[in-house]
Amino acid sequence: MPPLDSRAIILDLKAATKEGALRELAALAATRCGRCTEETLYAVLVEREAIGSTGVGNGVAIPHGKVTGLDDILLCFGRSREGIDFDAIDNQPVHLFVLLLSPATKAAEYLKALARVSRILKNETTRQELLASSSPEAIVSLFEAGPPGF
């Protein structure tokens, strides 16, 4: 999995809706990937959400998708203190968002990255630390450490 870059983190999402959160994350991702526009990335995310919500429960969502023209897997992180209704499977608001975008040509790496992000966010202690973190660097450290026992 590629490392999470501290410049790919939003500590306080401004969005109050699912669409707003996807837009804000797409805008951040567009600044990180160079050739992809916010609109292109937003469309990929909306298309994936139409299949089923990426709100996986426990205050977590992992919006993801495959993007033509992307060179490498891209990770972005967003946090909402208030929580956002994201149609999560447990019907609870989402506070932690990890955006994962991949070139279509890197399917195996994409699935491994998705699995690793899921393992990291499955741990309650890690989720609490992500909510309490006061800097992008602290969040990067939590992702680099991986899930406990990993």
DSSP string, 62-78: --EEE-TT--S-EEEEE
Instruction: Give the integer Cα–Cα distance in Å for 70 and 133.
Output: 30
Whether the CB-CB separation of 39 and 31 falls below 8 Å is answered with no
Identify the active-site residue in 18, 64, 79, 127. 64
Query: Active site includes 95?
Result: no
Q: What are phi and psi of 83, to 5 degrees?
A: 90, 150
Which residues are marked as active site? 64
